[in-house]
Amino acid sequence: MTADRSPTGRQMPIELILLRQAASYLSIPVWLADEDGDLVFYNEPAEASLGRRYEEEGALAASELAETFQTRAEDGSNVLAEDLPINIALNQRRPDHKTLRVRGMDGDWRVLEVTAFPIEGQAGRHLGAVVFFWEVDR
């Protein structure tokens, strides 16, 4: 899979390609999703929290994400998929923030502060979402 294609092989919009480039320079963990919710990139600072290097895992289809990353509320209770910040940004096209427990690809659970924003292109074209997150000690 090339860097400018989604997990389904579809060409990514230039805006997502540029955001991917910008995210590679940031020191905060960043995750990019396309309009279908496919994970198209996460940067190096995100690798420790997600439990695997991006070069080893690559892009993931939305259908694989719930299986790959188990997510709970901060207190350990279940959280509905539609209530996750990424899905609120994608489906309701508004920012959202929550504290979540996430099990990474290495099997370790971490408490993360998660903030997601929708990505809109010209003329209101919905392109996906960007997620910023960071580990917290609880």
**Model confidence over 80-125: pLDDT tens digits?**
999 999 999 999 999 999 999 999 999 999 999 999 999 998 888 9
Beta-strand runs (E) in 13-138 = 30-34, 39-42, 70-73, 96-103, 109-120, 126-135
**β-pairing, 30-34 with 39-42?**
antiparallel
Calpha distance 1→8 (Å, rounded) = 9
Helix (H) or strand (E) holding 4, with range, is none
Per-domain residue ranges of the chain: 14-135
Is pLDDT at 66 greater than 90 in this prediction? Answer: no
What average pLDDT does the segment 25-30 reach? Answer: 97
Asked if residue 1 lies in contact with residue 9, where contact means CB atoms within 8 angstroms, the answer is yes
Write down the mean pLDDT value for the chain. 91
Is pLDDT at 60 greater than 50 in this prediction? Answer: yes
Is pLDDT at 10 greater than 60 in this prediction? Answer: yes
What tokens appear for 15 in the block?
Answer: 């805006």
Top CATH class, 14-135? alpha beta
